Amino acid sequence: MAVTVLPVAALPASALEGLLSGLGLCLHRVAEGAAIPGSYWGEPEAGLIGNQLYVRDDTPVHSALHEACHWLLADPVRRAALHTNAGGSDTEENAVCYLQCLLAERLDGYSQTRCFADMDAWGYSFILGSAAAWFAGDSDDAQRFLQACGWL
């Protein structure tokens, strides 16, 4: 399935690193054609090992944000053990999606609107039919989870 999503290479060079380092994550750029360590979905999707986030220039921005949010929402024990599969509950997965949409607004060269479009193009599945509709009208569980974690 060919999808058109914004790749990391389209962002200003320091945008992603600047956002993530402020949140406690270390960004590693992988060379073109090299395997991405810790990628759950396989290349070009982002990889996560501990607090190390791995991307290539062709990694979708939404994927980098999504994996980063898995780390941000994991408790300290899970954070230390994260490797490829972040695990967590369905509600936590929803909270990860919600948080990635919030962080999209803080990422230079990206936006929440673009994140919604990229999520839809990639194939995220929401009962209301789109990421934007889910975010606006069906994300109460995600918001409660984020409130409990201090993100909202």
Give mean pLDDT in consecutive 10-residue pieces for the chain, a chain of 152 residues: 83 94 95 95 94 96 96 93 91 96 96 96 86 95 96 93
pLDDT score at 107? 96
CA atoms within 13 A on the CB side of 24: 11
pLDDT score at 149? 93
User: How far is residue 55's CA from residue 36's CA, in Å, rounded to a whole number?
Assistant: 7
Is-contact 150 28, C-beta < 8 A? Answer: no
pLDDT score at 61? 97
Q: In the β-sheet with 26-29, what is the strand arrangement from edge to edge?
A: 26-29, 52-55, 47-49
Going by C-beta distance under 8 Å and a sequence separation of 6 or more, which residues neighbour residue 117? Answer: 131
Is-contact 141 149, C-beta < 8 A? Answer: no
pTM over 0.85: yes
